[in-house]
Amino acid sequence: MGILLQDVRYGLRMLRRSPGFTVVAVLTLALGIGANTAIFSLVNSVLLTKLPFRNPNKLMIVRDPVRSGDEGYGVSVPDFEDYRAQQHTFQDLSLWVAQSVNLTGTERPDRVIGSFVSANFFHLLEVQPIKGRTFVTGEDRPGSNHVVVVSHGAWQDRFGSDPNFIGKQLTLNGEIYTVIGILPASFHYTLADSDVWITISHYPDYIEHDRAAKNQLMIGRIKDESTRSQAAADLDVIARSLAANYPQDAGVRIALTGFQEAVTESARPALLVLLGAVGLVLLIACANVANLLLSRGAGRSRELAMRAALGATRTRIVRQLLTETCLVGLLGGAGSLLIATWALRALLKLSPRSLPVEVNTSLNWQILTFATLASLLTGVLCGCIPALRLSTIGLAQLAAGGRTTTDPQRHWLRSAIVVGQVALSIVVLIGAGLLVKSFSQLLRSNPGFNPTNVLTMEYRLPASKYHTAESRWNFHRQITEQVSHVPGVVGAAIIQGLPFSGNGGSTNFTLPGMTVASGQEPDAIGNLVTPGYFALMGISVLRGRTFADSDTSESLPVAVISQSMAEKYWPQQDPVGKEILFPHATIAAGVEARPWRAMVVGVVADVKQYKARDEHQDYIYVPYAQMPGNFGTLVVKTAVEPMSLSSAVREAVWRVDRDQPVWKIRTMEWLLDRNVAQDRFVTALMSCFGVLALGLTILGTYGVIAYSVVQRTREIGVRMALGATPANVLKLVFGEGCRIVVIGTATGLIGALATTRLLGRLLYGVHPNDPLTFALVLAAMLGAALIASYIPARRATKVDPMVGLRYE
Partner 1 sequence: MIQLRNMTYVLRRINLDIQEGEFITVMGPSGSGKSTLLSIIGMLDDSWAGEFYFLENEVHKLDRKKRSDLNRKHIGFVFQSYHLLDNLTVYENLDVPLSYRNISRSQRASMVAEILDRFQIVGKKDLFPSQLSGGQQQLVGVARAVVGNPKLILADEPTGNLHSSQAKEIMELFKKLNEEGTTIIQVTHSEVNASYGNRTIQLFDGWITSDPANPQTSTPSVVAR
Return the closest-CA partner of residue 494 out of 380, 688, 662. 662
Point out which span in 46-54, 67-75, 240-248, 719-727 binds partner 1 (CB under 8 A): 719-727
Which residues lie closer than 8 Å to 289 by C-beta, 6 or more apart?
Answer: 25, 28, 29, 325, 328, 382
Note whether 725 binds partner 1 by CB under 8 A: yes
DSSP, collapsed to helix, strand or coil, labels residue 491 as strand
Note whether 310 binds partner 1 by CB under 8 A: no
- Min dist CB 786 to partner 1, Å, is 23
- Min dist CB 406 to partner 1, Å, is 6
Considering beta carbons, is residue 536 or 724 the nearer one to partner 1? 724
Distances (CA, A) of 303 to 103, 158, 188: 79, 72, 61
Note whether 664 binds partner 1 by CB under 8 A: no
Considering beta carbons, is residue 226 or 728 the nearer one to partner 1? 728
Considering beta carbons, is residue 183 or 740 the nearer one to partner 1? 740
- From candidates 250, 368, 556, 721, binder to partner 1 by CB under 8 A: 721
- From candidates 23, 490, 775, 802, binder to partner 1 by CB under 8 A: 802
Return the closest-CA partner of residue 697 out of 644, 656, 739, 740. 740
User: How many residues in the shown chain lie near partner 1 by CB under 8 A?
Assistant: 17
DSSP secondary structure string, 18-52?
-HHHHHHHHHHHHHHHHHHHHHHHHHIIIIISPPS
Strands, DSSP E only, in 674-739? none
- From candidates 408, 487, 512, 595, binder to partner 1 by CB under 8 A: 408
User: What is the pattern of x (binds partner 1, CB under 8 A) and - over residues 586-625?
Assistant: ----------------------------------------
Note whether 724 binds partner 1 by CB under 8 A: yes
- From candidates 478, 728, 747, 755, binder to partner 1 by CB under 8 A: 728
Bridge partners of residue 86, in order along the sequence: none
* Residues 684, 351 contacting (CB under 8 angstroms): yes
- SS3 percent helix, strand, coil of the chain, rounded to 5, is 50, 15, 30
- Min dist CB 802 to partner 1, Å, is 5
- Min dist CB 399 to partner 1, Å, is 12
- Min dist CB 712 to partner 1, Å, is 9
- Min dist CB 807 to partner 1, Å, is 10
- From candidates 79, 606, 715, 770, binder to partner 1 by CB under 8 A: 715
Considering beta carbons, is residue 452 or 725 the nearer one to partner 1? 725
Note whether 392 binds partner 1 by CB under 8 A: no
Point out which span in 164-172, 204-212, 303-311, 722-730 binds partner 1 (CB under 8 A): 722-730
> What is the CB-side half-sphere exposure of residue 792 using CA atoms within 13 A?
28
CA 787, CA 793: separation in Å to the nearest integer?
Answer: 10
Note whether 406 binds partner 1 by CB under 8 A: yes
- From candidates 149, 348, 387, 720, binder to partner 1 by CB under 8 A: 720
Considering beta carbons, is residue 640 or 721 the nearer one to partner 1? 721
- Min dist CB 760 to partner 1, Å, is 45
Considering beta carbons, is residue 548 or 805 the nearer one to partner 1? 805
Note whether 719 binds partner 1 by CB under 8 A: yes
Residue 213 DSSP symbol: -
- From candidates 153, 522, 538, 801, binder to partner 1 by CB under 8 A: 801
Considering beta carbons, is residue 352 or 726 the nearer one to partner 1? 726
Note whether 399 binds partner 1 by CB under 8 A: no
- From candidates 1, 85, 517, 722, binder to partner 1 by CB under 8 A: 722
Note whether 714 binds partner 1 by CB under 8 A: yes
- Min dist CB 317 to partner 1, Å, is 24
Rg of the chain, C-alpha, whole Å: 34
CA 753, CA 765: separation in Å to the nearest integer?
Answer: 18
- Min dist CB 717 to partner 1, Å, is 8
* Residues 763, 682 contacting (CB under 8 angstroms): no
Rounded (5°) CA angle 94-264-122 = 25
DSSP, collapsed to helix, strand or coil, labels residue 455 as strand
CA 240, CA 253: separation in Å to the nearest integer?
Answer: 7
CA 682, CA 758: separation in Å to the nearest integer?
Answer: 14
* Residues 26, 338 contacting (CB under 8 angstroms): no
DSSP, collapsed to helix, strand or coil, labels residue 592 as coil
Span between the terminal Cα atoms of the chain, in Å:
40
Rule CB under 8 A: which residues touch partner 1? 406, 408, 714-715, 717-725, 728, 801-802, 805
